[in-house]
Amino acid sequence: MLRFSIVYSVLTGVLLMATGTAGASDSGVGEAERKIVVAHRGASAYLPEHTLPAVAMAYAMGADFMEQDVVMTRDDELIVWHDLTLDRNTDVAQRFPGRAREDGEHYVIDFTLEELRRLQVTEGYAVNEQGEQQANYPDRFPLWQSTFRVHTLAEQLEMVQGMNRSMDRDTGIYPEIKDPAFHREHGKDLSRAVLSELKRFGYDSRDDNVYVQTFDHDELKRVHDELYESLGMELKLVQLIGGDGHDWMVNENGMEELGRYADGVGPHYSRIIDEASTQDNVIITDFVRLAHRNGMAVHPYTFRADEGQVPGYARDFRHMLELFYEEAGIDGAFTDFPDRVIQYIQSR
Ligand code: G3P
Ligand code: CA
């Protein structure tokens, strides 16, 4: 097995651009040569996030995994979409006047799939005090240019599996169960629906190239303790780690608890290199060590090369990658720039 692993590593190193980076290990722990790249919302630095063209581009770049944030529509369809709302990156307000909630936002869960398919999808933007739309990332794909649409989880899985066949690859998927508590409040069991859909597409075992992720600690445990048995499946699980509410996870006891059911953790990268770091003093926390000790891979989010997005303690994006992959010892990363991270891993 070890010999296979070494040969596999060498081969994948040679074939990297043709076949993607090395495949994911079961745990990612202690297999330093097997670093993965997760295309965050597709190749979202280059095309609008969570659109099928962005998925195709990330696939062609050779990302190991495609990330899908998943939310549910009013008529119980699963779509690949990051926000619970539609306002940041569609024309929903113009197309469906009068359908906003009291907070002024239009919620996916209030629309049918047929309605959502009529929306124009674009890059993320905010509206300034003058009422002008301003792109969140000004150097990315232009606002409202070309034509992009909402798509379902099934449509993306069909596409990835189709490309896996035509390209003779096994690119993985990395679906996130997005805010299951919100969906439950609206009478919808998002986790069960997502898992059922994955099973319908043949993803049902830990050997499959899938990580299921969520920020919701109780829900990840529910998936592990109840839903897997109920649905007759078991996929690898990743506990996402966000802000203050997740502080309890980031110590000896917390990591031990997570390690009982999670195969990996997905923290914001500031949990791994302290934000107080400078170029002369990079402070690496014990996060990776604790996760590895408890058998979990570490896949932080979100690595972006846009102007202003590289932390000051790194000289540039490549240096940021070096610090995280080499010095801190992460096993993979979510990135909007899969090509840049693959290029870096190739050159290691
Ligand atoms: O799921 C990993 C990363 O995507 C978490 O952040 O908000 O982009 O889903 P978010
Ligand atoms: Ca996500």
Mean pLDDT computed over 130-139: 97
Annotated active-site residue 268? The verdict is no
Substitution site in 178, 240, 269, 270 for ligand 1 pocket (most atoms within 8 Å of beta carbon): 240
Show the tokens assigned to 171. 């690119």
Rounded percentage of the chain residues whose pLDDT exceeds 90: 90
For 8, the enclosing helix (H) or strand (E) is helix 2-14
Mean pLDDT computed over 194-211: 98
Q: Which residues contact 240 (CB under 8 A, 6 or more apart)?
A: 176, 213, 214, 215, 265, 266, 267, 301
Substitution site in 213, 237, 302 for ligand 1 pocket (most atoms within 8 Å of beta carbon): 302
- What size, in residues, is the chain? 348
- The pLDDT of residue 6 is above 50: no
Which residues hold their Cβ within 5 A of ligand 2, which is an ion?
Answer: 69, 176
Rounded percentage of the chain residues whose pLDDT exceeds 70: 91
Mean pLDDT computed over 1-18: 36
Q: Which of 19-28, 191-200, 230-239, 240-249 is the least confident region?
A: 19-28
Give the pLDDT confidence of 224-243 residue by residue, as tens digits.
Answer: 999 999 999 999 999 999 99
Annotated active-site residue 246? The verdict is no
Give the pLDDT confidence of 276-297 residue by residue, as tens digits.
Answer: 999 999 999 999 999 999 999 9
Give the pLDDT confidence of 318-348 residue by residue, as tens digits.
Answer: 999 999 999 999 999 999 999 999 999 999 8
- The pLDDT of residue 213 is above 50: yes
Residue 3's pLDDT is: 37
Residue 348's pLDDT is: 87
Cα gap 195→233, rounded to integer Å:
8
User: Which residue has the CA at smallest separation from atom 5 of ligand 1?
Assistant: 301
- The pLDDT of residue 174 is above 60: yes
User: Which residue has the CA at smallest separation from atom 2 of ligand 1?
Assistant: 301
- The pLDDT of residue 113 is above 50: yes
Residue 34's pLDDT is: 82
User: Which residue has the CA at smallest separation from atom 3 of ligand 1?
Assistant: 301
Mean pLDDT computed over 17-41: 60
Residue 12's pLDDT is: 37
Total Cβ atoms within 10 A of residue 6: 11
Band (21; pLDDT cuts 50, 70, 90): low
Average pLDDT, the chain: 92
Give the pLDDT confidence of 58-78 residue by residue, as tens digits.
Answer: 999 999 999 999 999 999 999
Band (163; pLDDT cuts 50, 70, 90): very high
Cα gap 325→31, rounded to integer Å:
12
DSSP secondary structure letters along 157-209: HHHHHHHHHHHT---EEEEEE--HHHHHHTT--HHHHHHHHHHHTT--STTSS
Residue 124's pLDDT is: 98
Mean pLDDT computed over 254-274: 98
Mean pLDDT computed over 40-52: 99
- The pLDDT of residue 192 is above 90: yes
For 5, the enclosing helix (H) or strand (E) is helix 2-14
Show the tokens assigned to 263. 């195969």
Residue 33's pLDDT is: 57
> Ligand 2 center to residue 231 CA distance, Å?
24
Residue 256's pLDDT is: 98
> What's the one-letter identity of residue 105?
E
Residue 191's pLDDT is: 99
Alpha-carbon distances of 41 from 51, 59, 226, 317, rounded to whole Å:
8, 12, 28, 19
